[in-house]
């Protein structure tokens, strides 16, 4: 009885606080929470305007001829994001400042929508200030800072924005009625679906969790009366998913294979890496180097060498179950929904067999729910421990600390040397860091920098890779396919630099050594088409420098060759024509 009276008192206090907040929001200061969110986001992330294009920004944005030609592709799963890239290019060209400004605007918009949603989400159950606290945490959280600083992550920003909008529209329908809100829900789900492949999953998970949490007996009665409408919506959703994910069903046959099992267990370990960084946002990195849990041939789900991964998976599934129990119970429902959607952000990715395990932007759609859940939990803990004491000072200190950490991280993205140095400091075997530096210097014609780096730094990275895999065996392995690709790419760029700085003969000799190494390592041209694609591109560049234009064109036209644009072929064809025309008749 005492617990029930205490809960009733807290409920009345929450309602009183919420009523006063609603009165204020309805008055002249309704803009103040949004101004605070925008200011916090600017303080933490506006430094992204100095960030450079990096890694996937190059092929997906800067060097994309499709964007320059105004093409948005034929598939639905990225059409909205690609349209955004095309519009941005038309407005300000391939400007890093422009693209990063849009990323910051999207991140800030997500924070503002989170506040609006959360205000309705906690209505009558928690103090209204919890909504603002959760939105402010999200606006400045360092684990969300990759979105403003990494241009190609616009797709996940759009997915998160549309998914939250869909959830908010459904919530408003359940609370206040109005059938047009359901139309906005469907349109927002479609927007998330057309922003990125997993967007449909994110939107449906969020809408489903919020909908089930706020359904009342009257709503269930309405569902029964409109059963055919519900069936129609489900069929439309399945059809939309089928159109945007045509190969998904076929991939289910892989679920019993060792690679898929290892992928699932690796993601379970990665979830906990994300979880503790969400709580204590340190050791962040623009290119985490995550070892994959190995599954020997013939092994099943329950007999793998990596027992730690098995415990991580069991703990992740247990946390999912706990979140569902919390979401089922009315007193803990709000926190349970937030916890479930944070965990589910990584859990559902088990079905996506993508070998890059821990880019930080992957957790971004779950971060609004983590931050709102944290605000709910901290608000409850503060009220339980300290009663009516004002939390303003610790809240301001926490927001200021997170904003400082995010701003400090943004400055790493301003300079590629500092960014890659940070990567190699945390992950000495991450060869992709040298690859990025090689690409920059090749584009600038700084051939000697490539030569010196390959001779002086690559051997250490290679040695660290071997040592780390020896230490991890037999439970885990740093992705050998990724390292082999970086090895081929770096040595190919080294050959190009030699051809320019020393002589074409030196470049051709290095290309021959690379080809022999690839054959010695058993790299099949069909199974390892990506690696051979980078080889052929490098060989074409060396042959072009040597004046062997016809041979260079032959290499450029090999099926699967990487990073060759139509303009590259046109350039070499022009050189060949000029060479033929200059020959005596």
Q: Could you say which DSSP state residue 191 is in?
A: H
Q: Is the predicted pLDDT of residue 116 greater than 60, yes or no?
A: yes
Cα 433 to Cα 3, 54, 451, distances in angstroms: 56, 11, 15
Least confident of 75-89, 270-284, 359-373, 415-429: 75-89
Helix (H) or strand (E) holding 175: helix 154-176
Q: Determine the length of the chain.
A: 585
The whole-number average pLDDT for the span 78-103 is 93
CA distance 356 to 366: 18
Which pLDDT score, from 0 to 100, does residue 178 have?
82
Closest CA to 449 of 405, 493, 400: 493
CA distance 537 to 76: 30
- Assign 124 a pLDDT band (cuts: 50, 70, 90): confident
Least confident of 196-200, 374-378, 451-455, 559-563: 559-563
Average pLDDT over the chain reads: 87
- Assign 248 a pLDDT band (cuts: 50, 70, 90): low
Looking up tokens 């944070």, which residue turns up? Answer: 342
With contact defined as beta carbons under 8 Å apart, do 147 and 153 qualify?
Answer: yes
Q: Is the predicted pLDDT of residue 18 greater than 50, yes or no?
A: no
Q: Which residues contact 127 (CB under 8 A, 6 or more apart)?
A: 13, 14, 17, 18, 21, 379, 383
CA distance 137 to 388: 22
Q: Show the DSSP H helices in 199-306 as ranges.
A: 199-214, 217-225, 227-244, 248-251, 258-279
What does the angle CA 65 – CA 68 – CA 71 come to, to the nearest 5 degrees? 80
- pLDDT tens-digit map of 29-80: 788 999 999 999 999 999 999 999 988 888 889 888 889 888 887 677 789 9
With contact defined as beta carbons under 8 Å apart, do 299 and 258 qualify?
Answer: yes
Question: For residue 130, what are its two tokens?
Answer: 């919890």
Least confident of 30-34, 78-82, 184-188, 235-239: 235-239
The whole-number average pLDDT for the span 538-557 is 91
CA distance 499 to 310: 50
Instruction: Express as a percent the part of the chain with pLDDT over 90.
Output: 59
- pLDDT tens-digit map of 262-286: 889 999 999 999 999 999 999 999 9
Q: Does domain 428-582 have CATH number 1.10.940?
A: no
Mind spelling out the 3-state secondary structure of 363-424?
HHHHHHHHHHHHHHHHHHHHHHHHCCCCCHHHHHHHHHHHHHHHHHHHHHCCCHHHHHHHHH
- pLDDT tens-digit map of 483-500: 999 999 999 999 999 999
Which pLDDT score, from 0 to 100, does residue 176 have?
87
Least confident of 223-227, 340-344, 397-401: 223-227
Cα 459 to Cα 463, 471, 494, 515, 541, distances in angstroms: 6, 18, 13, 19, 24
Phi, psi torsion values for 521, nearest 5 degrees = -80, 0
Which pLDDT score, from 0 to 100, does residue 297 have?
83
Which pLDDT score, from 0 to 100, does residue 179 have?
83
Question: For residue 410, what are its two tokens?
Answer: 């943004």
- Assign 351 a pLDDT band (cuts: 50, 70, 90): confident
Least confident of 261-265, 351-355, 418-422, 570-574: 351-355
Question: For residue 98, what are its two tokens?
Answer: 């422009």
The whole-number average pLDDT for the span 469-494 is 90
CA distance 501 to 386: 69
The residues of the chain that CATH labels 1.25.40 are 428-582
């Amino acid at each position: 009885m005492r617990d029930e009276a205490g809960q009733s008192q807290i409920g009345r206090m929450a309602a009183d606080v919420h009523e006063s907040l609603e009165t204020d929001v309805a008055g002249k200061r309704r803009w103040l929470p949004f101004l605070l969110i925008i200011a916090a986001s600017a303080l933490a992330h506006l430094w992204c305007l100095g960030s450079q294009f990096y890694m996937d920004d190059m092929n997906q944005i800067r060097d994309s001829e499709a964007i320059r030609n105004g093409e948005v592709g034929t598939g639905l799963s990225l059409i909205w994001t690609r349209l955004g890239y095309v519009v941005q290019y038309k407005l300000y060209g391939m400007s890093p400042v422009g693209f990063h400004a849009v990323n910051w605007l999207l991140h800030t918009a997500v924070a503002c929508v989170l506040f609006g949603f959360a205000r309705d989400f906690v209505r009558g159950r928690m103090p209204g200030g919890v909504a603002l606290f959760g939105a402010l945490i999200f606006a400045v959280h360092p684990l969300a800072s990759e979105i403003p600083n990494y241009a190609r992550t616009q797709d996940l920003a759009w997915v998160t924005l549309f998914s939250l909008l869909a959830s908010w529209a459904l919530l408003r329908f359940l609370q206040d009625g109005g059938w047009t809100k359901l139309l906005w829900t469907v349109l927002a789900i479609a927007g998330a679906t057309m922003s990125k492949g997993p967007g449909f999953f994110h939107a449906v998970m969020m809408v489903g969790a919020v909908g089930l949490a706020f359904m009342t007996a009257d709503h269930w009665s309405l569902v029964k009366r409109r059963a055919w409408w519900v069936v129609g919506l489900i069929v439309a959703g399945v059809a939309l998913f089928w159109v945007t994910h045509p190969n998904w069903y076929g991939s289910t046959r892989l679920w019993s294979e060792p690679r898929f099992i290892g992928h699932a267990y690796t993601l379970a370990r990665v979830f906990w890496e994300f979880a503790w960084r969400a709580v204590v946002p340190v050791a962040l990195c623009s290119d985490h180097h995550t070892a994959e849990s190995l599954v020997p041939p013939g092994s099943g789900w329950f007999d793998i060498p990596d027992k730690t991964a098995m415990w991580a998976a069991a703990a992740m599934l247990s946390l999912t179950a706990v979140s569902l129990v919390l979401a089922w119970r009315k007193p803990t429902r709000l926190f349970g929904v937030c916890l479930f959607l944070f965990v589910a952000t990584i859990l559902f990715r088990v079905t996506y067999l993508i070998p890059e395990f821990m880019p930080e932007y992957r957790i971004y759609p779950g971060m609004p729910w983590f931050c709102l859940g944290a605000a709910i939990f901290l608000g409850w803990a503060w009220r339980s421990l300290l009663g009516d004491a004002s939390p303003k000072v610790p809240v301001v200190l926490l927001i200021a600390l997170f904003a400082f950490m995010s701003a400090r991280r943004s400055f790493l993205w301003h300079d590629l040397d500092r960014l890659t140095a940070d990567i190699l400091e945390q992950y000495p075997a991450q060869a992709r860091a040298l690859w990025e530096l090689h690409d920059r210097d090749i584009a600038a014609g700084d051939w000697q920098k490539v030569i010196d780096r390959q001779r002086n730094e690559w051997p250490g990275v290679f040695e660290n890779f071997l040592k780390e895999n020896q230490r991890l065996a037999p439970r885990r392995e740093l992705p050998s396919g990724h390292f082999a690709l970086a090895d081929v790419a770096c040595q190919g760029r080294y050959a190009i630099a030699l051809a320019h700085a020393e002589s074409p003969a030196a470049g051709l000799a290095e290309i021959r050594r690379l080809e022999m190494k690839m054959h010695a390592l058993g790299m099949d041209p069909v199974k390892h088409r990506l690696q051979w694609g980078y080889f052929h591109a490098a060989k074409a560049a060396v042959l072009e420098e040597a004046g062997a234009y016809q041979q260079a064109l032959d290499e450029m036209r090999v099926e699967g060759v990487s990073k060759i644009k139509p303009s590259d072929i046109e350039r070499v064809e022009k050189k060949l024509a000029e060479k033929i025309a200059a020959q005596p008749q």
